[in-house]
Amino acid sequence: MTRYALGLILLSSVAMAETQADIAARENDEGKQLMFQQKYADASAKFRDAAARTNEGKYYFNLCTSLYQEGKFGEAMTACNTADKNAPDDKLKEKVAKLREKIQTDAKAANVDVSGVGTGGGGGPTDLGNPVGPDGGNGTPPPNGGNGTPPPNGGGPGPGPGAPGMGAVAPPPQQALFIAKKPEHNYSWALGGEFFGGGGKIGQPDYYGSSAFGVRFHGDYLVKPASKIGVQGYLQITNFTAGSMQNPNVSTLDDFDLGVAGYKHICPIGGHLCFTPLVGVHLAFMSPAGMTDGAGSQVFNYTAAGGRLELALSYAFGSRFENVISAMVGANLYTKVFASPSDPSQGLPADQIGLDAGGAIGYFGLGYTRRFDTPFGQTPFVTLE
């Protein structure tokens, strides 16, 4: 009977520990959603409760981030210091160090002293890395800091507002350090690329083949997020196969396009899927038969104008739809060459290599795009755990 009772007690203890971990994970997820809504004080309460239940470094790191966004630099430093002490790996330690440096820089700019901040709550002697639990015995502090354990929010005997340490506050930062958006097809800018292939006609008949394949790199900027309208700069390289004409000066054709386009995301059912029609114009620089200069470098001495029409179906995934895979159908259009080498030693006239006529190819492509929510040229400062 005694062994049976002891077994029940052990099973109950294990169940209690698992329950606390599950609750902490749920509180952490809720806290991140509140961060997305810019409800930083409410998020801090959720992260504080999660940290109190399991004492894991990742929850203290999230708490450090939310407190920073509240302008509570002293409390944020304490949470970061505790996160560093309880970090399970070097990756989290690096993130903590980066955020702590940011807090120190911003605190100095705001004339706020955080030099006296350590690990623990309220400037008291308790170390948040080893606090007292809700029942006084499982090593987990209660959310409200009961049983004599000061909570992470600085309760208890510590320095008051305006003093160095935990009470150090400043106006909340104007820009969020993290990605603060729910998953939707809004972003600031993006980078991506596609492989494509298809067929059509370029130049005079038989000079070049009817098959083409290439690669495209692009950068996008969403100019009107509410309407999901953006602009794109792109660079595409296309290789046209050789035609049936037996001419030593003509075989394949390499084409290098620099262009700009406008596009609009249309997401009729919301969620992950969007259609994106796009219209672009470009300059085409062509190199027949891999033409090279005297040093052996390939040259693109023939210039034409061109256009691009495309319809893409994309699937976005990730916590903020930051990853996008796309399938597209489209057409690249070309005018006849309007600029060619004036020196015969640099190349033949356009009509002798079949480029005195334009053309078009239809293509199918597959691509990947990475979206960024931060201002152009920046990256997210921190990613919540």
| Closest to 63 measured CA to CA, from 109, 18, 99 | 99
Segments of the chain assigned to CATH 2.40.160.20 = 189-372
CA dihedral (311, 317, 318, 321) positive or negative: positive
DSSP E strand stretches across the chain: 189-202, 208-224, 229-242, 253-264, 273-288, 302-317, 323-334, 359-372
pLDDT at residue 118 in the model = 63
Per the CB < 8 A criterion, the answer to whether 278 and 262 are in contact is yes
| Closest to 370 measured CA to CA, from 218, 235, 242, 175 | 218
CATH of 1-178, one of 3.20.20.80, 3.40.50.720, 1.25.40.10, 1.10.760.10: 1.25.40.10
Rounded Cα gap, residues 8 and 340, in angstroms: 89
pLDDT at residue 246 in the model = 66
CA distances in angstroms from 37 to 32, 129, 151, 226, listed in the order given: 9, 29, 25, 18
pLDDT at residue 26 in the model = 86
pLDDT at residue 343 in the model = 73
Torsion angle in degrees (nearest 10) through CA of 44, 50, 56, 62: -30
pLDDT at residue 146 in the model = 41
Per the CB < 8 A criterion, the answer to whether 305 and 335 are in contact is yes
Pairing of strands 302-317, 323-334: antiparallel
Segments of the chain assigned to CATH 1.25.40.10 = 1-178
Instruction: Given CATH 2.40.160.20, say whether it is the number of domain 189-372.
Output: yes
Instruction: Write the pLDDT tens digit of every residue in 326-338.
Output: 999 999 999 999 9
Which residue, chain included where needed, has tokens 């489209």?
330
Which residues of the chain register pLDDT less than 70? Answer: 1-18, 116-183, 246-249, 270, 290-298, 344-345, 374-385
Instruction: Write the pLDDT tens digit of every residue in 91-147.
Output: 888 888 888 888 888 888 878 777 766 655 433 333 443 333 444 334 444 444 444
Rounded Cα gap, residues 385 and 381, in angstroms: 13
HSE, CB side, 13 Å, CA atoms: give it for residue 358. Answer: 13
Crossing angle (nearest 10°) for helices 90-109 and 73-85: 160
Copy the structure tokens of residue 77: 């430093």
Which residue, chain included where needed, has tokens 């939707």?
184
User: Is the pTM for the entire model greater than 0.85?
Assistant: no
Rounded Cα gap, residues 123 and 150, in angstroms: 9
Copy the structure tokens of residue 87: 């970090």
* β-bridge partners, 306: 282, 334
Q: What is the DSSP letter of 374?
A: S
CA distances in angstroms from 15 to 2, 18, 19, 51, 157, listed in the order given: 20, 5, 6, 19, 35
Count CB neighbours of 270 within 10 A: 9
Q: Which long-range contacts (CB under 8 A, 24 or more apart) does 9-15 make?
A: 13/138
pLDDT at residue 180 in the model = 44
Copy the structure tokens of residue 283: 């300059």
Per the CB < 8 A criterion, the answer to whether 235 and 215 are in contact is no
